[in-house]
Structure formats: structure tokens, C-alpha cells
Amino acid sequence: MAGFDIGLDEEGLFADFDWEAPEHVQAGIREHRDDIAALARPGPDGFTGEAWWSLYFEFVAMVESVGEPPHVAERLAFDGVIGWWLGRNPVAQEPWRCCHCGGDHAILFAATGEWCHLQCLEAWQARRCADAVAALAEFSITAES
């Protein structure tokens, strides 16, 4: 049985085949080299694109297992992956200082561990969700995935 290994080393993406890969396979790897490397390279949170996709598909399978149709499962899975991204990518901040506006006398929200003024909370959550959506889009994980 023929095998292959694709990964990252100090020089970038490598592809080793136990057989002579057809030209269209080699061309596909060359064409998508950066995308493949992005999936294999861990981000600041330690997760690779491959890990985020695995989590997404795990969420889809869980939701479908309780009888939801695929389009609902995919939407809920995307929301779940956003929640995981937010948890794995906390924002460093000083106690009592609002994470959104930087002002003093903020309240600690235990669910997120972030200090925020009540009047800033909605805008802060929208900004953090937008950050998560942008980060996941780097791996082509979107609400339409």
C-alpha cells in the first residue's frame, strides 16, 4: 500500500510520497501550499486549522445525532466553535479596567472572566465574536461551512 506524509518543517511545507505522485496531485499541493501550511501550523492558542475543523465536525455530528437537519447542525456547530475560540483566546487585562473602553470601575463577568462596564458589554461581545469569526475564516471555517 502506498503512503505519504505531508507536514511542516523548518523550511516550510513538505510532501514525501512512497510512490511517484501523479502530476495533478503534485500540482494541487503546489497550488494550495499556503492553505495546507495554514491548516498544519498551530495558532497562538495552540490549535491548528485541522484541530478547529475536527472540532467543527464533532459538533456537527453531535447535533445531527439528536435529529437536527444538517443546516441546523452546521450553524450550531459554527456557534460552538466560536465559543471554543473565545475560551482559548482570552484577552489579557488589568482588574477593574474595562476590556472594551479601558475605563475604571468595571464589573467582572464570571462567565467570561473579563472586566467590562455593563454599557460596554454588548459592543465588547460583538467585537470578540467578530475576532473569532475572522480567526476561523483563516481556516475557511465560516457560517456557510
| Spans of all domains in the chain | 69-145
Q: Map grid coordinates 452546521 to a residue.
A: 74
Of the candidates 56, 62, 70, the residue with the CA atom closest to the CA atom of residue 136? 56
Mean pLDDT of 89-97: 90
Reported as a single tens digit per residue, the pLDDT across 25-42 is 778 877 887 777 777 788
Grade residue 113 by pLDDT with cuts at 50, 70 and 90: confident
Of the candidates 66, 15, 52, the residue with the CA atom closest to the CA atom of residue 142? 52
In whole angstroms, give the CA distance from residue 74 to residue 57: 8
pTM of the model: 0.76
pLDDT at residue number 93: 87
Alpha helices (H) in 6-140, listed in sequence order: 23-31, 33-40, 49-65, 70-88, 121-137
Cα angle 139, 48, 59 (rounded to 5 degrees) comes to 75
